[in-house]
Homo-oligomer: A and B are copies of this chain.
């Protein structure tokens, strides 16, 4: 329901074409509350279009990321994606020990981001920043 008709319009207005494969990927990511791995997107997409190739999934996800329709989360050595909800932006903290994920308000990064912009003219890709580290449970020795 909600989100992605606008995404379709966005694609069209930029000269991109709307294909069943892209619609599938969009539906799958939009239908998932949290983030989802590329391989999982592929498995679900195959239910609708048995011949979709994994490369198409990757290309579509990168395209949607470039357009700001989805955001990327690095978990372990894998990429996950989720629908970009502009009313509920958030970043992720991923534990390198147990791969657990916590969400983080972008407010925590706002000042940092502004300083990079002002002092270096560098625009960090805030939406797709994943913070790695150790969660409270996995801290060294007790």
Contacts and interface: CB of A to CB of B under 8 A. Distances in A.
Interface of A: 93, 95-96, 102, 104, 108-109, 111-112, 115-116, 120-126, 128-129, 131-136, 139
Contacts of A93: 116, 120, 122, 124
A17 to B, nearest CB: 22
A131 B116 contact: yes
A108 B102 contact: no
B122 A128 contact: no
B124 A131 contact: yes
Contacts of A126: 133
A132 B139 contact: no
B115 A135 contact: no
A96 B128 CA distance: 12
Contact of A121 (B115, B131, B136): B136
A96 B125 CA distance: 9
Nearest to A132: B125
Nearest to A96: B125
A88 to B, nearest CB: 18
Contacts of A135: 120-122
A134 B122 CA distance: 6
Contacts of A124: 93, 131-133
